Amino acid sequence: MSNAVSYKDLGLVNSRALFHNAVDGGYAIPAYNFNNLEQLQAIVVACAETDSPVIIQVSKGARDYANETMLRYMAMGAVQMAKELGKDLPIVLHLDHGDSFELCQSCIDSGFSSVMIDGSHLPYEENVALTRRVVEYAHQRDVAVEGELGVLAGIEDDVVAEQSTYTKPEEVEDFVKKTGVDSLAISIGTSHGAYKFKLAPGESVPPLRFDILDEIEKRIPGFPIVLHGASSVVPAYVALINQYGCKMDGAVGVPEDQLRQAAKSAVCKINIDSDGRLAVTAKVREFLAHNPAEFDPRKYLGAARSELIALIKHKNQAVLGSAGKA
């Protein structure tokens, strides 16, 4: 007998209708990673206060950290908490960078409404076959699937890529057709983590490859595109972190105006993890430096949570354009 749980019984939704509305409306749905209670509370409060649909996403590492069953109940709690705040928010529970069929299957069976199968590092035909297998399993359960073509530089769980390999526009149509994916993550110059660009002194951040994005849109018009590695590496947080004892030299992210431009295109999901990590670390370091006798985690994590709420509200309102779209 199967112990599978459907996301529908948890009050979650899949991402299909959200993506459709986002592509039509020229905005992007925020996808925020979470690993713990305070991050999830901040996401719920900020999205309720800005009336934004949201994707709460869990990496393989986050799942190992937090426990899959715990995550299911946290996601249910997020839905209920939003209701108590007066908002019936569309909330998607998504697996970020799934690396095997079995992991995707396990998440689907435990109540995820969306999974990413990241076969981007595999040879093309293997990526197609693996993605297709996940799609077949997921679609029988009305779960949405994100695939990826092209490789981002940086760290994705255990996979480290030194260099970006941009998505080849000539592959996207075939990939989408053969796999049946609901959305496609692409590589146009973003990367994971806090060190996205190596800049010489005085050099500014190179623009994203909007020419590649345009080519992709031409080949699969209106198809939902996903942008990973989209943190801005907020300089104020890096400065605070450095002020209070850390050494983050050369941390730099994607400028907000470029993300805004992407959100107006077929990019309908924007992934943000590092900015949340920086906000938490900056505020915890600052709080403890100013309150050396404090040892109640609620105090310093509470300060971090307040900052995260402000950050997420700002992203929804000024960068992604998802505020007011719930």
Active-site residue list: 96
Q: Which amino acid is at 94?
A: H
Structure tokens that stand for 115 in this block: 């999974």
**Number of chain residues interacting with Zn ion (CB under 5 A):** 2
User: CB under 5 A: which stretch of 13-21, 143-151, 227-235, 261-269 binds Zn ion?
Assistant: 227-235
- Smallest gap, in angstroms, from Cβ of residue 127 to ligand G3H? 17
The amino acid sitting at 124 is Y
Q: Does 193 bind ligand 13P (CB under 6 A)?
A: yes
Q: Judge whether 297 and 27 are in contact, CB under 8 Å.
A: no
Which x/- pattern over 45-64 shows residues binding ligand G3H (rule: CB under 6 A)? --------------x-xx--
* Sequence-separated (6 or more) residues with CB below 8 Å from residue 240: 282, 283, 285, 286
User: Torsions phi, psi of 89, nearest 5?
Assistant: -75, 135
5 closest CA partner among 97, 103, 105: 105
Q: Which phi-psi region, left, alpha or beta, contains residue 157 (left: φ > 0; alpha: ψ -120 to 50)?
A: left
Binding residue (CB under 6 A) for ligand 13P from 229, 282, 303, 321: 229
What is the torsion angle, in degrees rounded to the nearest 10, for the CA atoms of residue 14, residue 225, residue 194 and residue 72?
A: 10
**Cβ nearer to ligand 13P, comparing 81 with 270:** 270
Least distance in Å: CB of 268 to ligand G3H? 18
Partner whose footprint covers residue 231, from Zn ion, ligand 13P, ligand G3H, none (CB < 5 to 8 Å by kind): ligand 13P
Query: Minimum CB separation from Zn ion for residue 225, in Å?
Result: 14
- The answer to whether 55 touches 272, Cβ cutoff 8 Å, is no
Which of positions 255-284 make contact with ligand 13P (CB under 6 A)?
A: 271-275
CB 97 within 8 A of CB 157: yes
Fill in the amino acid letter for 13: V
230 binds ligand 13P (CB under 6 A): yes
Residue 47 binds which of ligand 13P, ligand G3H, Zn ion, none (CB < 5-8 A, kind-dependent)? none
Residues 154-193 that bind ligand G3H (CB under 6 A): 156-157, 192
User: Site residues (CB under 5 A) for Zn ion?
Assistant: 228, 271
User: Site residues (CB under 6 A) for ligand 13P?
Assistant: 33, 96-97, 192-193, 228-231, 271-275
